[in-house]
Amino acid sequence: MGIYFNPNNESFTRAKNSQVYIDKTGLLAFLNKRLSTEGNCIALSHARRFGKSHAAGMIDAYYSLGSDSQNLFKDTKIAKDAEYKKYLNKFNVIHLDISAFWDYHKDDIVEKIIEYVYKDFREVFDGELDYQDNISYTLMTIYKKTRIPFVIIIDEWDCVIRNSDDQKLIHKYLQFLHSMFKSEESKAFLALAYITGILPIKKIKDESALNNFHEYTMLDSYPITEFYGFTEDEVKVLCQQYNMDFDATKAWYNGYLIDGKHMYNPNSVTMAMERSRFDSYWRNTSSFSSINTFITMNYEGLKDDIMTMLSGGKVSVNTITFQNDFSTVGSKDEALTALIHLGYLGYDMDRKCAFIPNYEVASSFDAALQTGEWKDIAKVISKCDELLWATIDGNADKGKSVSRCIERVFG
């Protein structure tokens, strides 16, 4: 049992012990069907605080040989699955959080990742491995010794891609990923790859490290949408349990329409339930500079589109041209698509339209639009803020959405 190799189940234990816990173990049944198949590489890109890390901890607890998780899972949905025990704590697991390495090792991140993983290996395979070998060969050697395949989990896999302009470093990092996910050795030792990020996989010329991954995004995550975020039914149960008004909760946190499902920001709903108070909790965990970065580019028609969405409307957006890279945004459609992936806009896949999902997100725009020519929009949102609070403070109309409030402002 190590830090990165065969971690324990402490992360999922904390999640289950939390005041608000929603069972998302059905995701494991989906992953079990993809173990050691052509579809065993999963890439999830969702906005921050949408349950990606929670899922990673759950996957650790379920697959890792470093855990004994029978009691932890005995009362969950996955325990009712016919193949539940077949895969429980049966795999060698490697779990990496790339953002944690990036904070301290920007110049030598690949070397440091390998160094720390090898430290864990030495505690288990002391004297049995040649640590001068590349990591894919080392993983293959471990597999040949143990006959136990690997589940590899990488949180914030795109941290290097998003934050570095050093093309040599990016190339080295992608080669590292290739060795684990697409090398000849990985065809034998890799049972499952699960990586999470903010943006979908960027297609980089001459790089094929991740082109075998099946992607699930804020635009389209069928059939695993319900495992990230809270569903409307789940929120209704929480509102009853915590004596919170459902209509008000819906106004604040509903609106992410992913594959036809209304999904709620789990972090915000959890905070509201625990504190018995509605607020923009997500704003305190995300960078609002992202909104300003894209809207102040002021592409033709962008301001009108923002106004349309703030008044409750939807605007057409072509998401195909976005290159999954913030640094290459060059049009209104690409700016809107970036905001969808960041969670600042919702997306209607059937109509190919963007919209502002709820009051919490509208208040995010309020915080970001306080300067320059966008002040008039900020004033509109501020007026809506007054109206919404007037309805939530005990009136029968409480819980109206921000779009209804804005309609009242415009008369």
Give me the mean pLDDT over the 328-343 stretch.
90
Write out pLDDT tens, residues 155-175.
Answer: 999 999 888 989 899 999 999
Q: What angle do CA 36, 41, 46 make, to 5 degrees?
A: 145
Say which CATH number the domain at 210 has: 3.40.50
Could you tell me how many helices (H) and strands (E) the chain has, helices first? 20, 11
Please state the pTM of the whole predicted model: 0.89
Structural domain containing residue 19? 10-225
Q: Please report the beta strands in 178-309, taking only residues with DSSP state E, as ranges in sequence order.
A: 190-197, 214-216, 230-231, 256-258, 261-264
Sole residue written with tokens 């957006």: 317
- The total of structural domains in the chain comes to 2
- A 10 A CB-CB count for 324 gives 22
Torsion-angle region of 394 (φ positive above 0: left; ψ -120 to 50: alpha; else: beta): left
User: What number of CA atoms fall less than 13 Å from residue 383's CA on the CB side?
Assistant: 17
pLDDT band of residue 370 (cuts 50, 70, 90) is: low
pLDDT tens digit sequence for 117-147: 999 999 999 888 988 889 999 999 999 999 9
Under the banding of pLDDT at 50, 70 and 90, the label for residue 280 is confident
Give the residue from 207, 225, 243 where a domain finishes: 225
Q: Are residues 118 and 201 in the same domain?
A: yes
Residues 188 and 306 in one domain: no
Instruction: Indicate the residue among 210, 225, 240 that finishes a domain.
Output: 225
- Residues 303 and 399 reside in one and the same domain: yes
233 plus 221 within the same structural domain: no
- Residues 248, 107: one domain? no
What gap in Å lies between CA 406 and CA 392, rounded to an integer? 15
**Residues 123, 110 within the same domain:** yes
Supply the mean pLDDT for the chain. Answer: 87
